[in-house]
């Protein structure tokens, strides 16, 4: 299949992208890496009349250390983020997640912001953003605002981004360097979206959990923060936590989908197993 005709406009900077999108109105789409939009165009599942290409907007790419964490420009290529020394040092879990995003050939063009903006419920990067408490910087001709990732995802492919807003950057807060992190996904094939995915971060001081960030992906209409489990963990002593009960608590907040690839029962069972197993490994390290 071939895409339906559209007009193509180049945005040389973030501001230009914002202006062009403001003028073009609701029929326009922003083209970043194109690793999702291009297939959708080819299959005619979407047919915008205007495409605004942000690939030339170099000011939208790059990773900076802000003091409160990392700011990742929306047009930063996934391959660049994967090999970035700041990410390796401050956000190793994002690096791990990126290794599961698509393939070597799609990460060369796919962008961090593109995948954050799309809101695919089984995607890796939105789940990491939700677990870590990141926020999304949006800009329109009306101004700039930041939306917490936990409020950004509304339904599959539906986000809090208004039609005239461009995703400019993602702000990941710093977690203590010694935080323990889990990233696990179960997928049929390498590069596929997850059937079940888990992101978990624990900031443990001595044996006490200071802070927890937990998110599921592929387990509901959006990435889901397991807030009850996070609350149960905060302030608790590792030895007092029953991993099995905690897994059930974390699962109480999701309604896993039922589809061709896996039943809801399968997803729940696998999710409980990986949660329990990974939590035990994390905390064994604490005891040792």
Partner 1 sequence: MSLHFVEFELNGCQIDGMVEARRTLLDFLRCDVGCTGPHAGCEHGVCGACTVLVEGQAVRSCLMLAVQANGKTVETVEGLSGGPKELHPIQQLFREEFALQCGFCTPGFLMTLVALDRSEPRPNAAEMREALSGHLCRCTGYQGVLRVIDRLTEDRK
Contacting positions for partner 1 (CB under 8 A): 1-8, 31, 34-35, 38-39, 41-43, 51, 53, 55, 79, 102-106, 108-109, 189-191
Scanning the structure block, which residue is given the tokens 């409020």?
A: 151
| Alpha-carbon separation of residue 68 from 64, 99, 153 (angstroms) | 11, 25, 23
**Rounded to the nearest whole angstrom, what is the least distance from the CB of residue 122 to partner 1 in the complex?**
16
Nearer to partner 1, 4 or 252 (CB): 4
- Measured at the CA of 35, the angle between CA 43 and CA 29, to 5 degrees, comes to 70
Shortest CB 46 distance to partner 1, Å: 13
Nearer to partner 1, 2 or 239 (CB): 2
Nearer to partner 1, 45 or 239 (CB): 45
Least CB distance to partner 1 at residue 108 (A):
4
Are 110 and 33 spatial neighbours (Cβ–Cβ below 8 Å)? yes
- Tell me how far, at minimum, the Cβ of 5 lies from partner 1, in Å: 4
Q: Which residues of 21-53 are buried (b: 16+ CB within 10 A; e: fewer)?
A: bbebeeebbbbbbbbbbeebbeeeeeebebbbb
Q: Which is closer to partner 1, CB of 52 or CB of 251?
A: 52
Given the complex with partner 1, which of 8 and 240 has the nearer CB atom? 8
Question: 147-152: long-range contacts at Cβ-Cβ below 8 A with a sequence spacing of 24 or more?
Answer: 149/116, 149/223, 150/225, 152/119, 152/126
Q: Is 104 or 155 the residue whose CB approaches partner 1 more closely?
A: 104
**Residue whose CB is less far from partner 1, 77 or 268:** 77
Least distance from partner 1 to the Cβ atom of residue 103, Å: 3
Classify 153 as helix, strand or coil: strand
Name the strand (E) or helix (H) holding 199. strand 196-205
- Distance separating alpha carbons of residues 229 and 247, to the nearest angstrom: 8
Residue 187 near residue 193 (C-beta atoms within 8 A) = yes
SS3 content of the chain, % helix, strand, coil (to 5): 40, 25, 35
Which residues on adjacent β-strands are paired with residue 111? 77
> Min. distance of Cβ 58 from partner 1 in angstroms?
14
Half-sphere exposure of residue 97: CA atoms within 13 angstroms, side-chain side: 32
User: Residue 201 Cβ, how far from partner 1 at the closest point, in Å?
Assistant: 25
Residue 178 to residue 123: CA distance in whole angstroms: 26
Tokens of 249: 């608590």
Q: Which residues pair with 8 in a beta bridge?
A: 51
User: At its nearest, how many Å lie between partner 1 and the CB of residue 105?
Assistant: 4
């Amino acid at each position: 299949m071939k895409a339906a005709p559209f007009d193509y406009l180049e945005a040389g900077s973030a501001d230009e992208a914002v202006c062009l999108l403001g003028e073009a109105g609701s029929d326009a789409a922003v083209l970043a890496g194109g690793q999702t939009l291009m297939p959708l165009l080819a299959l005619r599942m979407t047919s915008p009349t205007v495409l605004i290409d942000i690939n030339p907007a170099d000011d939208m790419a790059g990773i900076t250390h802000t003091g409160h964490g990392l700011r990742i420009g929306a047009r930063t290529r996934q391959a660049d983020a994967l090999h970035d020394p700041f990410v390796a040092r401050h956000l190793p879990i994002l690096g791990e997640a990126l290794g599961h995003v698509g393939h070597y050939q799609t990460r060369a063009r796919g962008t961090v912001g593109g995948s954050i903006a799309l809101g695919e419920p089984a995607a890796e990067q939105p789940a990491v953003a939700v677990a870590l408490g990141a926020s999304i910087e949006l800009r329109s001709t009306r101004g700039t605002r930041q939306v917490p990732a936990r409020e950004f995802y509304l339904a599959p492919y539906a986000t809090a981004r208004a039609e005239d807003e461009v995703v400019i950057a993602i702000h990941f807060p710093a977690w203590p360097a010694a935080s323990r992190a889990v990233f696990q996904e179960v997928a049929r094939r390498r590069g596929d979206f997850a059937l079940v995915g888990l992101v978990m971060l624990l900031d443990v001081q001595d044996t006490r959990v200071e802070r927890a960030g937990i998110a599921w992906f592929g387990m509901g209409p959006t990435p889901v923060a397991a807030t009850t489990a996070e609350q149960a963990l905060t302030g608790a002593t590792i030895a007092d936590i029953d991993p099995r009960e905690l897994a059930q608590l974390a699962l109480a907040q999701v309604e896993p989908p039922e589809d061709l690839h896996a039943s809801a029962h399968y997803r729940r069972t696998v999710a409980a197993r990986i949660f329990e197993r990974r939590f035990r490994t994390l905390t064994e390290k604490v005891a040792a």
